Structure 1
Amino acid sequence: MNLKEQRAAAMKAARDLQESYGDNMTADQLAEVKSALDRVDAIDLEIKEARERNAVVNRLKNLGGGDEAPKEKEAEAPARSLGEHFVKAAGENLVKQAAGNQMSIAAPEFSKNADDPAKTPANLVDGWGTTYERAIVNARRERLIVADLMGSANVTSANIKYLVEKANRIAEGAANTVKEGEKKPYIKFADFDIVSESLSKVAALTKLTDEMIADYGFVADWINNQLIYELSVLEEKQLLNGDGSNANLKGLLERDGVQTVEAASKDEWFDKIYEANAKIPLATNLTGDGLVINPADYQNLRLTKDGNGQYLAGGPFTGQYGNGGIMVDPPVWGLRTVVSNAVPKGTAVVGAFRQGATILRRGGLRVDSTNTNDKDFENNLVTLRAEERLGLMVPVPAAFVKVTLTE
């Protein structure tokens, strides 16, 4: 009988004694049970010593008979190309994918050393060779802000429904005072609106040459600075101005229930923006937290002067009448003021953005690549695809006011 079997037998004997004697054991019976448990502890000690002996023997066997110290394991050579890096990162997932499993494989980004030929060609002579700067000089970019203003939520389905209380929530009747014994008034509340939102897919394709793909630092920058940016620009336009047709989102300004204010002349702009902000708490339980305005319209506000020729928001070097310092993009009526081409000239939006609207996202941004699309393989091209799924939920449309600014 080996040690494990001996331990099992000793443990069984101890348990049998306890079951036969019960909980109310005499002193002699208790001593007998303790003796059985001591036998179990002794066997446990023998098992531990046997394991230690085996570990020492196995260690000696692994060292072999030579006197030389074991050689250090050579460091794994870094990947020389994006393909090699992808294969190393993907590992067994490639085998699973080849077997028919549907999955996405994403390799982590990594950077090249400064002396890598893919960044700076080899064999350059100091003072004579040309060093290549791989950074891209980008054209003008819009400052993307709408998604930052609104709330955000993750969803697991392509559709979501929610109840919206009507602005006139009482259809008939009203509460009233009554005398003792008289009939009490009824109130009929209006039915809720059931609003359904569907997610839309925002996507784009682009092609890169094999030579560009080989420079994985360039590929990472291209995806981040170009492809994803273009998706973000479209996302911003859809969130504000999407018309809801076909696969388009129904943007914020296209929602029923959004309040409106019109300024007939430039002299009314400040007053009407304030009026728009005041409308929000009158119609909802929310207060405005932001103003989105076109750069051309904000310029008109910023350059407005009083009767003494002083800029209302302060001059080019100091605050108004020389008091305080100059402010960059000073807020209008205390609202967080965002100057952006996301809204057209002649339109401003005041709203409770954070609580009044929520961007719905299913999953994250996904980027895939293939060289089997169209004639990519023949032409040494790789197609990159970026896509995301998002929707917009506006449970309180009255928390937003569209201001028409007429000059």
Structure 2
Amino acid sequence: MTVMEFPRLKEAEGKLAAKQKELHGIFAEAGPDMDMGKVKSLPGDSAAKVAEIRSRNEELDDLGKQVEELKSLYDIAGRVQSQRREDAGHGEAGAEQGDTGSGRKAFKSFGDSFVESKAYKGRAPGSVGEVATIEVELKTLMETGAGWAPETTRTGKVVEYATRPIQVTDIIPHTTTSQAAVVYMEETTFTNAAAETAEAGTYPESALALTERSVTVRKIATWLPVTDEQLEDEPQARGYINNRLPFMLRQRLDGQILTGDGSAPNLRGLLNVSGIQTQAKGADPIPDAVYKAMTKIRVTGRATPTAAVFHPNDWQEVRLLRTTDGIYIWGSPTETGPERIWGLRVVQADGITENTGAVGDFANFSELAVRRGVDVQVTNAHSDFFIKGKQAIRADLRAALVFYRPAAFCTVTGL
């Protein structure tokens, strides 16, 4: 399915771009000091103009969400068509144990898989247990489990350590790969010499060239020692595995997506991708600088921006923007305010370098290709764990991070 077969998406993207341009023109009139007296394209006093700006921004938010929903439907339609072609080529697979009846396996949590494994069920006290392998989808949502000890002595509430949440992983499209690297072809030469040609005239010669690119699958891993006593209570084991180990891996992956330096075994994060564009804030208000970055992505990158990433301290500056007479642009302190800018979804990520934002077409030109989701293995054969009554629980994941068109992304510096 092509974009031409999905006219609603093309129409919505065009309308969003036009509304973004209109609002940018108003900000340009106001200047870096947000002086509403300089805005001639809107009637009324400062309060009326700010109200109109908010109204237009809300319209942009709605249009942005509409575009995201249409793109999601477009992606689903593409996957369905791909699956149908695959089914037609290979035939329908027989139902497997654990199927839901629709051909898809029923979901089990980390803890459910672990406590039903041979390593847990067959573990005799004081014996050397075998290794159990449990593979689970990377993007599975984890729910908070039970406490460590019986609730007869404690409330059961576990206050987790204050640490950075998962913030940017979900804006990157996820796929799977069965290879050790993601190999693709990039069109590196496109010379279009097409021209009007007279009868019997010589056809002008065009040129195309492709270059093979490869992104290696990398591994993120960790492990935890746990005493046998901690594993005696099934709900406690389930809560333990469901929460922290997978979170540790996903949190590290989340940071690598932004700032990984690409030096093995690191992924190459967005800020270290060669060829991405840059827009300096300079004397512009932050919204103007972001819009200019979006324009670069459209003109040079030939792409449509889908999201913007800010450090929370930098987004604070946007949320607190005021006119010269003190009116908040993004809504009064009594309002939550939008988590969008120019209709784009805003991701607040303290994993990104402060004073630097990023805008890009994440939906179409980035990909997290998962070689293996979170894999959990358990054994007491590590070191002297057998004689000390301990279990080693390790977890890892393997994935490749690809930014297919660097020019479809732009950093905004000097925020």
Pairwise TM-score range, normalised by the shorter structure: 0.5 to 0.7
Q: Hey, what's the Cα distance between the residues in 1 that align with 2:161 and 2:195? A: 65
For residues 110-149 of structure 1, the aligned pairs below 5 Å read: 119-120=150-151, 131-149=153-171
Partner of 2:347: 338
* SS at 1:377 equivalent: helix
How far 1:301 sits from its partner (Å)?
1.1
Structure 1's 105 and 287: CA in aligned 2 closer, same or farther, altered over 3 A?
closer
Q: Aligned-pair distance for 1:329?
A: 4.2
Residue 262 of structure 1 aligns with an amino acid whose one-letter code is A
- The answer to whether 1:257 aligns with 2:286 is no
Q: 5 Å matches for 1:324-335?
A: 326-335=335-344
CA distance in structure 2 between the aligned counterparts of 1:153 and 1:84, rounded to whole angstroms = 28
- 1: distance between equivalents of 2:348 and 2:198? 58
- Which moved further from structure 2: 276-285 or 227-236? 276-285
SS of 1:163's partner is strand
5+ long unaligned stretches in structure 2: 1-112, 136-144
Q: Which residue of 2 aligns with 1:275?
A: 292
* Distance in 1 (alpha carbons) for counterparts of 2:314 and 2:114: 50
Q: How far apart are the structure 1 equivalents of 2:278 and 2:114?
A: 55
| CA contact 1:210–1:380 (8 Å) conserved in 2 | yes
Picking from 204, 224, 242, the partner of 1:185 is 204
Kindly provide the amino acid, as one letter, of the partner of residue 178 in structure 2: T
Structure number with larger C-alpha Rg: 1
Q: Distance in 1 between matches of 2:323 and 2:115?
A: 67
CA deviations 1:3-26 (Å, max 9, x no partner) are xxxxxxxxxxxxxxxxxxxxxxxx
Shift of 1:242: 1.3
The 3 A distance-change label for structure 1 pair 244 and 333 is same
Q: Helix, strand or coil: the match of 1:359?
A: strand
SS in 2 for 1:365: strand
Structure 1 moving runs of 4+ over 4 Å? 82-91
Superposition CA RMSD, Å: 3.2
1:154 matched to 2:176? The reply is yes
Cα deviations by residue, 1:290-330 (Å, 9 ceiling, x for unpaired): 1110001011111111122111111112xxxxxxxx24444
Q: Would you say the 8 A contact 1:205–1:384 is kept in 2?
A: yes
Tell me the residue number matched to 1:42: none
Shift of 1:85: 6.2
Using the TM superposition, give the Cα deviation of residue 178 of structure 1 relative to its aligned residue in structure 2, in angstroms. 3.7
Q: Which amino acid aligns with 1:304?
A: L
> Conserved in 2, the CA contact under 8 Å of 1:365 and 1:386?
yes
Match of 1:169 in 2: 190
- Compute the TM-score of the two structures, normalised by the length of structure 1: 0.64
Q: 5 Å matches for 1:203-282?
A: 203-265=221-283, 267-282=284-299
Q: Which residue of 2 aligns with 1:74?
A: none
Matches of residues 5-404 of structure 1 in structure 2 within 5 Å? 86=117, 104=133, 119-120=150-151, 131-166=153-188, 169-170=190-191, 174-189=193-208, 191-265=209-283, 267-317=284-334, 326-404=335-413
Compared with structure 1, are the counterparts of its residues 218 and 203 closer, same or farther at alpha carbon in structure 2 (3 Å cutoff)?
Answer: same
1-side partners of 2:255 and 2:159: how far apart?
25
Answer yes or no: is the 8 Å Cα contact 1:153–1:361 preserved in 2. yes
SS at match of 1:169: strand
Question: What code does the residue aligned with 2:174 have?
Answer: S
Match of 2:51 in 1: none
Q: Percent of pairs identical after alignment? A: 28
- Looking at structure 2, the residues matched to 271 and 105 of structure 1 have their Cα atoms a distance apart, in angstroms, of 49
Distance 2:166 2:322 in 1: 30
**Structure with greater contact order relative to length (CA < 8 Å, sep ≥ 6):** 2
- Cα contact 2:376–2:394 (8 A) shared by 1: yes
Letter matched to residue 104 of structure 1: T
Letter in 1 for 2:159: V
1:242 and 1:254 in contact (8 A); partners too: yes
Q: Is the 8 A contact 2:118 2:132 kept in 1?
A: no
Match of 1:169, as an amino acid? F
**Residue type matched to 1:282 in 2?**
V
Q: CA deviation at 1:142?
A: 2.2
Q: Secondary structure at the match of 1:192?
A: strand
Deviation of 1:378 after TM superposition, in Å, equals 2.7
Give, in angstroms, the shift of residue 256 of structure 1: 2.2
Q: Please state how far the C-alpha of 1:273 moved relative to its aligned partner.
A: 0.3
Q: Displacement of 1:86 after TM fit?
A: 4.8
Offset, 1:182: 3.6
**Shift, 1:185, TM fit:** 2.2
